[in-house]
């Protein structure tokens, strides 16, 4: 039986808040990729989708030696479906017009790359609207 201490797994979680309506963004596809070293090849490592609360809590633990993580959010389908639905208790803050090219979002996808250290947990929230986004390291 080994008495060596084990390093806890490195993990990632995320959530998305649609700041244009002040609500979580549900059903957004999220892909996770990892690499070792700043110039290594990206390796697909997991995929999920945000739940009704905009959270993605079931991404797999990262492989040992991971130094960089990429979260890829498919936001265009979310905004397309949001424009098709009627929001009765939230104002429409979209700059949409009769031209179909004015619908959806300016950023059809968002890719966030960040560095990680073994044994830590990283929560990376995405604040999103059709014409911009912001991210930060949460807790």
Domain borders along the chain are 14-87+98-135
| CB within 8 Å of 46: residues ≥ 6 apart | 31, 32, 59, 60
What confidence tens digit (pLDDT) does each residue in 73-118 have?
999 999 988 754 534 344 444 444 444 445 568 999 999 999 999 9
Q: Name which of 18, 10, 16 is nearest 30 in CA terms.
A: 16
pLDDT-based confidence at residue 8 (cuts at 50, 70, 90): confident
pLDDT-based confidence at residue 7 (cuts at 50, 70, 90): confident
Higher pLDDT, 97 or 15: 15
| CB within 8 Å of 93: residues ≥ 6 apart | 20, 21, 129
Residue 21 and residue 93 in contact, taking contact as beta carbons nearer than 8 Å: yes
pLDDT-based confidence at residue 30 (cuts at 50, 70, 90): very high
Residue 90: predicted pLDDT: 44
What percent of the chain lies above the pLDDT cut of 70? 81
CA–CA gap between residue 30 and residue 109 (Å, rounded)? 10
0.85 exceeded by pTM: no
Task: Compute how many other C-beta atoms are within 10 angstroms of the C-beta atom of residue 61.
Answer: 14
Three-state DSSP string of 4-47: CCCCCCCEEEEEEEECCCCEECCCCEEEEEEECCCCCCCEEEEE
Residue 44 and residue 36 in contact, taking contact as beta carbons nearer than 8 Å: no
Residue 77: predicted pLDDT: 94
Residue 85: predicted pLDDT: 57
Just give the CATH number of 14-87+98-135.
2.60.40.180
């Amino acid at each position: 039986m080994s008495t060596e201490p084990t390093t806890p797994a490195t993990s990632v979680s995320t959530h998305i808040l649609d700041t244009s309506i002040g609500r979580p963004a549900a059903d957004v596809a999220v892909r996770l990729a990892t690499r070792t070293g700043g110039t290594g090849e990206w390796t697909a490592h997991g995929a999920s989708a945000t739940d009704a609360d905009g959270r993605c809590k079931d991404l797999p633990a990262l492989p040992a030696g991971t130094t960089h993580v990429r979260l890829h959010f498919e936001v265009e389908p979310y905004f397309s479906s949001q424009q098709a639905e009627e929001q009765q208790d939230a104002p429409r803050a979209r700059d949409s017009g009769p031209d179909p090219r004015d619908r959806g979002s300016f950023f059809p996808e968002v890719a966030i790359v960040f560095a990680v250290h073994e044994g830590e947990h990283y929560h990376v929230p995405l604040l999103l609207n059709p014409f911009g986004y912001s991210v930060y390291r949460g807790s």
